[in-house]
Amino acid sequence: MTHETKNSLYKNNNRAVGRGDIKTKRGKISNQSFGVIRPKNLTKTRKLRGFELIIIESLNPTEKQTGTILHEETIKYKKFQEPNLSSTLIKVGSKIDFISCLKQIHKRIKIERLFPILHLETHGSEDGLHLANRDLLTWEDFFDETRSINILLKNSLMINLAMCQGISLIAKVDPMKRAPFRAIIGTLSTISESKLLEAFEIFYTSFFFSLSGAKSVNEVNKVLTKDGLSFIYFKSEDFIDKFIDKKRDLQFRKHLINDMAIKEKATNPDIKNVDFKDVLNYSEEITEKMINEVRNYRDKFLMKDIKRFFL
């Protein structure tokens, strides 16, 4: 048998010397093919590329551009110390632009295996985000977008709020939907631009070395408490547990019942003229049922029933 004939037989039998039969796992790895021995699904494991700090700024041009200053002066310096740190500054002017930005981040997570940390430089209130062109992006609409991001990350999204009264958004979280974040960092106080900038400079100086949100907030508060200010590190787990535990925070439950009574009084024609004390009793019954429903939904809220996008 000639040398050419031997090579032809090897080729026809899908063999390569030292690489194994194509029907074996070794052969399939060599030929980059798949089958029963080497299932294609096993190659779909997506590894985390690394985290990226994304600063979204929406401030009037006449105001101090605190997001830009933070990015150019603090974050860029930290990138020299931490080569794996990536950061992006995105300026948006309107509600449409802001939502489009969040949707693009969602796409990048799926395509680039991005792991983002969101930092928002806007004005805030109990109603939502107040943007550069005076658009209002309600917390409910904002959560619709961040929730889809957080689902991809299996409840791992951190959102940092550089705004006054940012933590007030907690009241708008729907406990019967997936959590819109894993953790948020912000303040309940009215705070100046300079103090916000100082707070997050301290925060990121600590965070990029410790990777601990709680520890970094403690570092911030060591400085801010001198001025009667403080930042809060609040997790989705804290929210849901506070919601379902009647004894844990009686003031929270009282506030919930009162809000429910006001809403029912204003929207339910059947009890429009009913005494408010009776409406409160009615609201307490509704709240009790809702708490029981939320208690059953806790694991789904925290996404313990879904697989992580990144393995």
Supply the DSSP string of 105-117, one letter for each residue.
HHHHHHHH-EEEE
Let me know whether 86 and 189 are in one domain. Answer: yes
Q: Are residues 229 and 245 in the same domain?
A: no
Backbone φ, ψ for residue 186 (5° rounding): -175, -165
Overall average pLDDT of the 275-283 stretch: 86
Binning pLDDT at 50, 70 and 90, where does residue 31 land? low
Domain boundary among 194, 216, 236: 236
Q: Are residues 170 and 213 in the same domain?
A: yes
Tokens 């804290």 locate to 238
Q: Do the domain assignments include residue 16?
A: no
Mean pLDDT (whole number) for 144-172: 91
Q: Provide the pLDDT confidence category of residue 306 given band limits of 50, 70 and 90.
A: confident
Q: Which domain holds residue 63?
A: 50-236
Q: Output the six-digit token pair for 110.
A: 């799926």
Note the pLDDT of residue 311.
Answer: 38
**Beta bridge mates, 253:** none
179-191 per-position pLDDT tens digit: 999 999 998 888 8
Question: In this structure, are 131 and 174 located in the same domain?
Answer: yes
Mean pLDDT across 161-182: 89
Instruction: Tell me the C-alpha distance between 275 and 254, whole Å.
Output: 18
Q: How far apart are CA 215 and CA 210, in angstroms?
A: 8
pLDDT at residue number 75: 87
List beta partners, residue 86: 52
Domain assignment of residue 61, yes or no: yes
Distance, in Å, from the CA atom of 42 to the CA atom of 273, rounded to the nearest integer, reads 64
Q: Are 306 and 154 in contact (CB under 8 A)?
A: yes
Which sign does the torsion angle of CA 142, 147, 152, 158 carry? positive
User: Is the domain of 153 the same as that of 173?
Assistant: yes
Tally of domains within the chain: 2
